Amino acid sequence: MAQGKFRVGITRDNLKPDGKPIFSESAFRILDDAGIEYEFLPEFEPELTPETAAKYDALAVMLAKVTRKTVSGPDRRLKLIARFGVGYDTVDVPACTENGVILAITPDGVRRPVAMAALTFVLMLAQKVMTKDRITREGRWSERMNHFGTGLSGRVLGSIGVGNIGSELFRLAMPFGMKHLACDPYITPESVAPLGVKLVDLDTLFRDSDFLCVNCPLSDETRKLVGPRQFSLMKPTAYFINTARGPIVDETALYDTLRNNRIAGAGIDVFEQEPVSPGNPLLKLDNIIVTPHHICLTDECINTVAASVFGACRDLAKSRVPKYVVNQEVLGRVPYFHR
């Protein structure tokens, strides 16, 4: 371990405009009780620098990128990247592993909030909430009988991925009496049987789903996984929902599909380029609900995530293996603890 006290740097995108943390300050008790020093980085760094990696034993990271350059400096003190969230497409995982840096994520904090976000889109789209809001505001009361919603009983809820979030989505949706379909090459039919989930291939999932949700991580395997062909298989009455990562979907294909009303609508929280440009043509369509990659953000979500991030820092400071380590292979090569 590094000489002196264990030090944690927290990226400044975890601060509100008024300078207060976005999470409850009670989360700092985890670090205080462990005698850990911590501070917010003095400046926002879109890409964390080698100089920053030389100052801290652990970095608590929200949006900043962690590159090979970050973790390859000759004076690196950094041992842990603890990410606020479950995705890690902004982190060069092989570089972390090669340099003995542990990457930990926080699935315990996002499981319920992101699943609730996907279900929120399902309910809003099914009830045509945005359309009904618009005609009410515009004084078009007489049109209300023209906009019937879609009942959920017997409809098909589909998910690309049945991991941490996908399984929670099906668990939350069970009272609605929907049929559950999913595509996930990394799980077994037996593991999802208690959730009433039937595993199918990707084409069948797109063809049969009434509400299709993306719940898989972004990787080389899933980048542009959803494109023109997949959208062409969907029912004209179906809805598409993405609360995972924007680049999983070919955004041009999504736009063409919605513009030509080949599906009923979409709920989108993530985009290929973020922040999304005001000129993005998706924003001009009236059959899509859009949110700024934050629909899941609640006090419960961010406080649980912060506790998980700081818990990982505490565990490493105490020579314990943090929970939810992504690059497990690094654990046998670092001298901080014995597994």
- Catalytic annotation on 47? no
The closest alpha carbon to 39, from 7, 80, 77, 5, belongs to 7
- Catalytic annotation on 138? no
| Residue ranges in 226-285 assigned as alpha helix (H) | 228-233, 251-259
Residue 183: strand, helix, or coil: strand
Residue with token string 């570089």: 95
Q: Which of the residues 76, 155, 207, 245 is marked catalytic?
A: 245
User: Are the C-beta atoms of 64 and 11 separated by less than 8 Å?
Assistant: yes
CA 329, 334, 336, 337 torsion-angle sign: positive
The separation between CA 219 and the C-alpha centre of its own chain, rounded to angstroms, equals 13
User: Are the C-beta atoms of 270 and 297 separated by less than 8 Å?
Assistant: no
Q: Which of the residues 29, 274, 294, 300 is marked catalytic?
A: 274
The DSSP output letter for 15 is B
| Residue ranges in 187-325 assigned as alpha helix (H) | 189-192, 202-208, 228-233, 251-259, 299-317
- Catalytic annotation on 223? no
Q: Which of the residues 7, 83, 207, 293 is marked catalytic?
A: 293
| Residue ranges in 138-287 assigned as alpha helix (H) | 164-173, 189-192, 202-208, 228-233, 251-259
The closest alpha carbon to 96, from 338, 318, 309, 333, belongs to 333
Q: Are strands 265-268 and 7-10 parallel, antiparallel or unpaired?
A: unpaired
Q: How many other CB atoms are there within 10 angstroms of residue 40's CB atom?
A: 16
Q: Which are the catalytic amino acids?
A: 245, 274, 293
